[in-house]
């Protein structure tokens, strides 16, 4: 009986790995632009010769693609990509989500595979921010698509005259606000110089983008604004430093000003499978830190003179929440 149970468990794990193969196949296709190469029906040899690829390995990739449904074989024997893969997993497609695959396969999974060594060695690895800055900035633009409408709704409700976006990335939120509320004074802050310059280029002369550390920026900021956006950045701060971050933000806000945080939340109602894995990834690094709980957000906010006024799930599968706080003192 024990051998039967062992066999069944092995089969269950093998079956669960089918989802990984689908993700792996899509990632390879995105990274090498293979789905676009097979937009029109072609032979393996034609694509291998044209793009100087290993024909045998390409053949193996195609075999997996036919099994998982990403590719189809014509009667002639030529291979063609499914339309959805060209649409969603080609770098040149405006609707591509392939950057998520790259972040998962090149950043998250390699870190999680290091877990046995990290647990035994009691060490952490260093997150190479410059190496992955463009990837993180691009994946953030996908999150923006889910968050921008609620953010614009908050702006319409509160009618701020001025907004600072801390960690603005490529400036997606600022661009949307600029288009919908052209009279609002906007400023962005971005640590990575290449990302900051891209944001500045996209936003034009009407929006100032500060290139540098956001804490330095806040501490040197002499004026007051009505709203601060602090999205996708809490895990860059240790738990013990977050209360001070909230207080620094409160210091640049006018009376009854608002701050919005977007972050995965531990212990929330939705998406805890992803949140726990993401939390494991963060904790594996010496320069990244655990995700906040909703109670921690409320407590840190209260200590800084804020009150949580809204918690909205943005991507339930990932436990991503938009948390809005208002300055009450």
pLDDT tens for each residue of 248-274? 999 999 999 999 999 999 999 889 999
Domains identified in the chain, total number: 2
- What is the distance between the alpha carbons of residues 289 and 170, in angstroms, rounded to a whole number? 23
Query: Which of 70, 90, 110 is the C-terminal boundary of a domain?
Result: 90
Same domain, 83 and 205: no
Look up tokens 């269950």; give the residue: 12
Answer whether residue 119 is part of any domain. Answer: no
Answer whether residue 116 is part of any domain. Answer: no
Same domain, 86 and 133: no
Do the beta carbons of residue 188 and residue 164 sit within 8 Å? yes
Same domain, 249 and 198: yes
Same domain, 187 and 65: no
Same domain, 39 and 167: no
- Give me the helices (H) in the chain, please: 2-31, 34-37, 44-50, 55-68, 83-88, 98-103, 109-113, 115-121, 129-158, 172-180, 193-203, 214-220, 239-251, 272-283, 294-303
Query: Which of 90, 120, 144 is the C-terminal boundary of a domain?
Result: 90
Same domain, 189 and 318: yes
Same domain, 160 and 85: no
Note the maximum CA span of the chain. 73
Answer whether residue 103 is part of any domain. Answer: no
Backbone angles phi, psi at 73, to 5 degrees: -105, 130
Structure confidence by residue, pLDDT tens digits, 50-71: 999 999 999 999 999 999 999 9
Domain region containing 59: 2-90
Per residue of the chain (329 residues), give pLDDT as tens: 677 887 778 778 777 778 889 999 999 999 999 999 999 999 999 999 999 999 999 999 999 999 999 999 999 999 999 999 999 999 899 889 888 899 999 999 999 999 999 999 999 999 887 788 888 888 888 788 889 999 999 999 999 999 999 999 999 999 999 999 999 999 999 998 999 999 999 999 889 999 999 999 999 998 899 999 999 999 999 999 999 999 999 999 999 999 999 999 999 988 999 999 999 999 999 999 999 999 999 999 999 999 999 999 998 888 999 999 999 97
Same domain, 306 and 158: yes
Shortest CA distance to 312 belongs to which of 297, 322, 326? 322
- CATH number at 134 reads 3.40.50.150
Answer whether residue 120 is part of any domain. Answer: no
- Look at the chain and count its residues: 329
Sequence-separated (6 or more) residues with CB below 8 Å from residue 304: 243, 246, 247, 249, 250
- CATH number at 75 reads 1.10.10.10
Answer whether residue 169 is part of any domain. Answer: yes
């Amino acid at each position: 009986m024990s051998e039967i149970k062992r066999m069944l468990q092995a089969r269950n794990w093998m079956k669960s790995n089918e989802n990984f193969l689908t993700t792996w196949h899509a990632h390879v296709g995105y990274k090498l632009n293979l789905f676009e190469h097979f937009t029109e029906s072609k032979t393996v040899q034609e694509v291998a010769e044209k793009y100087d690829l290993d024909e045998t390995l390409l053949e193996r990739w195609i075999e997996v693609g036919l099994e998982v449904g990403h590719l189809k074989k014509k009667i002639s024997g030529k291979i063609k990509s499914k339309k959805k893969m060209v649409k969603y997993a080609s770098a040149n497609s405006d609707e591509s989500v392939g950057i998520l695959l790259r972040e998962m396969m090149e950043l998250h999974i390699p870190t999680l595979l290091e877990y046995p060594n990290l647990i035994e060695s009691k060490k952490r690895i260093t997150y190479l921010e410059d190496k992955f800055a463009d990837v993180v900035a691009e994946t953030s633009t996908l999150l923006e698509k889910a968050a921008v409408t609620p953010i614009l709704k908050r702006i319409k409700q509160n009618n701020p005259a001025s907004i600072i976006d801390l960690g603005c990335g490529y400036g997606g939120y600022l661009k949307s606000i600029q288009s919908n509320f052209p009279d609002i004074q906007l400023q962005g802050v971005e640590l990575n110089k290449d990302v900051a310059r891209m944001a500045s280029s996209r936003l034009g002369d009407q929006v100032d983008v500060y290139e540098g550390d956001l804490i330095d920026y806040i501490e040197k900021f002499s004026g007051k604004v009505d709203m601060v956006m602090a999205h996708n950045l809490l895990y860059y701060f240790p738990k013990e430093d977050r209360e001070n971050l909230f207080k620094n933000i409160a210091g640049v806000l006018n009376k009854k000003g608002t701050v919005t945080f977007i972050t995965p939340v531990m212990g929330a109602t939705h998406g805890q499978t992803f949140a726990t894995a993401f939390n494991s990834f963060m904790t594996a690094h010496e320069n990244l830190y655990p995700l906040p709980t909703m109670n921690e957000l409320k407590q840190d906010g209260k200590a800084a003179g804020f009150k949580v006024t809204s918690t909205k799930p943005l991507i339930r599968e990932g436990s991503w929440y938009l948390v809005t706080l208002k300055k009450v003192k």
